[in-house]
Every structure is written in C-alpha cells, then in structure tokens.
Amino acid sequence: MAPATRFQLPRQDFPSRLWLPFKSRCLSTRIEVVRFKTPGDRNLIPHSAPPTSRDYELLSNFLQNSKKLAVITGAGVSTESGIPDYRGCCIQGASPQGAYSTGFKPITHQEFLKSAYSRRRYWARSYIGWRRFSQTQPGPSHIALAKLEGDDARTTGMITQNVDRLHHKAGSNPIELHGTTHQVVCLSCGNLSPRQTFQDRLKLLNLEWAAAVEIVESGGAVGSDASFGMQQRPDGDIEIDDSVFSRDDFQIPACQACGGNLKPHVVFFGDNVPLDRARAAASMVQESDALLIVGSSVMVLSAFRLVSAAHKQGSPIAIINVGKTRADEIASFKIESTAGDVLSGFLSTQGKM
C-alpha cells in the first residue's frame, strides 16, 4: 500500500478523516484528508491589545506633521485576509508563530535555477494553492491604506514586500519590492505573462493529475471551494508531500516566446531585488519626510535598507506591528496592535470609514 499523504481541508459535512485512493499515471497514493478550521478561524492574526486613544493621537500627529509620507507594508497586512506570514509574532505566548515555526522552508533562487525537480515540486504546490491565493480579497489594512492615500495628497507612495497584489485590489498602486505571484517571467528572455494563463497551460499539460487534485481539494465534490482551507503558505503555494506528484510525469509549460524556463515574477530567497525597482523604492523614501511601517518586522535587508535611509536623512519613523521589528530602536513610536484595528479605528475617529 502506498504511503499516506496528508491534505488539510476546512470543516465541511464530511467525516474528520476521509481516505481517497488514487492510482493514475501521475498520482498513485492514498491521500488522507484532515479537516480543520477555515482561514478566518485559524488564528492567523496575532493576539494583541486593541489600540488606545493615545495611539490614535500619536498617529494623528505623525500624519499631520508629514508633508510627504512614504509607507512600507509587510505580511502583517495580509494575515487578516487569510494569508500567513513567515516569521509570525515574536511576543512570547502570542500566536501564530508563522510558517517557519512549522518547519516550512521556502524555495531558494539557486534551487529553482539548478534543479528541474525543484521546479516541478514548486509548480505542483503553486498549482494547488493558486486558486485560493488569487481569489483572496483585501483586508482592513489594505482598504484603510488605500483610503488614507486617496484622502491625503501628502502621501508620497507605498512600498510593499507582499507578492499577493491585495493592495492593488484595494485601489493602491505600490512598488512591489519583491515582485508578484500574479505574473510569471522567462528566465531566458525576460518575457512576462499572466499567472492565470500559466495556470491554465499547466492544467492542460497535466489533466489527469489536475483532476485528481481537484477531487482531493473538494473532499470528493469536484468544483467545491473546500480547498480554500488547505495549508496555505505566504507565497501562495500549498504544503504537500513530495509523493503527491511524480518527478517524471509532472509537466511544466515553457516560455511561449523562446521556450525557456518560467518562474514566478518574485524575488526568491537568495536572489536580489532588480536594480530599477530598488532605485524606485529608494527614490520614494528619499523624497519623503516621514516613514510609516505597517505589518512588517523589516528583517529582510531590502526593506531595512530603506528604513535606514529614512533614519539617516532625519525622517521620523512610525511602526504599526505586533512583535519585534528591526527598526524598533530608531522609531519615533510604535503601536503594538494589529494593523487593521489601528488603521480602521483611526480613520473611524477621523470620520473617514
């Protein structure tokens, strides 16, 4: 008997455990379906005290004293939409702890380039996770920041470390420092194409495998949205066992322009932010007179470098984040509450929500 592979699905009207046997050219395994809470119930958002009137006062004064505000956002603004972060909350006893705490290791740039198996494994996981990831909607932070931008001409712009495009869905147009999963790029010629187009091509090349996965996702009911509760990861893929797909049988579409290998248009770990994008972000910070960090620990150097530049030019820095950040010691103040609560509450006090 083949080894069991565990998928996690949300609570539905089916038993807590469901075994789906599959024997096909692409998929030959028993798959154990384990129900668990939906994203809204999974406690993705860290526990924190609600913002106080003093917090709102500090934020109000900070914004009023700024004539050219730059904003840097991170994964903490998207956890409220059901997308987990990597590091989680650093406060002892708080939850969640982020994807890293479960042993999750995101693929590196070098792995993706050197290993055909790693590319197949990445795209298999990404294929399963894409539907939910692409349909995720903006949360309170995205909406509040878009509202703040629209109502306040003093905002220079936004830089996001997120790859989910939820800021765009909310009406903002940030610099995507680490790229976006909504596009794929050819490693040979640089041609860009929509991720959904790639998804459709991936399915056509792996019809039998895709059909089997869809049944597993839906708990036996093809086409249902039960898959929305699977073990989502910050970059949009799903945590699955390697035995779910065959190393040889899983096919990846090639670039339609030159036949080269395709990768998501994101900056993987071990890669560098493209120079033009880094310069655009640096220019935005340089032109600003204040910096607001929202939902980010700014532990990644590409983001912290911008924070350091703002500090060196004398710009005050404010932080809205639960848990330790790399900028705590240089910030003018920090609000240790979830970004959605702070920003939505603040705009409500201003009569703008």
pLDDT of residue 172: 96
**What distances in angstroms separate CA 136 from CA 131, 200, 264, one per listed residue?**
9, 19, 18
**What distances in angstroms separate CA 148 from CA 131, 144, 287, 351, one per listed residue?**
30, 6, 19, 12
- Consult the annotation and say whether 161 binds a ligand: yes
- Consult the annotation and say whether 78 binds a ligand: no
Ordered by where they begin, the domains of the chain are: 51-83+138-178+273-353 (3.40.50.1220)
**What distances in angstroms separate CA 191 from CA 66, 115, 134, 182, 196, one per listed residue?**
40, 21, 21, 14, 15
- Consult the annotation and say whether 339 binds a ligand: yes
CA–CA gap between residue 12 and residue 36 (Å, rounded) = 9
> Environment class of residue 247 by beta-carbon count within 10 Å: exposed (0-12), middle (13-18) or buried (19+)?
exposed
- Consult the annotation and say whether 134 binds a ligand: no
Average pLDDT per 10 consecutive residues for the chain, totaling 353 residues:
38 33 41 35 68 97 95 95 66 43 70 93 89 93 93 84 97 97 98 98 92 70 41 51 61 97 95 97 97 97 98 98 97 97 95 75
Within 13 Å, how many C-alpha atoms sit on residue 201's CB side? 15
CA–CA gap between residue 47 and residue 256 (Å, rounded) = 47
pLDDT of residue 66: 95
| Cis preceding linkage at 96, omega within 30 | yes
Residues facing 20 on adjacent strands: 31
- Consult the annotation and say whether 225 binds a ligand: no
Identify the active-site residue in 142, 167, 178, 182: 178
Length of the chain: 353
- Consult the annotation and say whether 249 binds a ligand: no
pLDDT of residue 263: 97
Amino acid, res. 321: N
- Consult the annotation and say whether 255 binds a ligand: yes
Q: Is 47 a catalytic residue?
A: no
CA–CA gap between residue 27 and residue 207 (Å, rounded) = 11
- Consult the annotation and say whether 261 binds a ligand: no
- Consult the annotation and say whether 296 binds a ligand: yes
pLDDT of residue 8: 38
Residue ranges with strand state E in the chain: 4-10, 17-23, 28-36, 69-73, 155-160, 175-176, 179-186, 192-194, 262-266, 290-294, 317-320, 333-335
Residue ranges with strand state E in 64-178: 69-73, 155-160, 175-176
- Consult the annotation and say whether 89 binds a ligand: no
- Consult the annotation and say whether 295 binds a ligand: yes
Q: Using alpha carbons only, how large is the chain's radius of gyration in Å?
A: 21
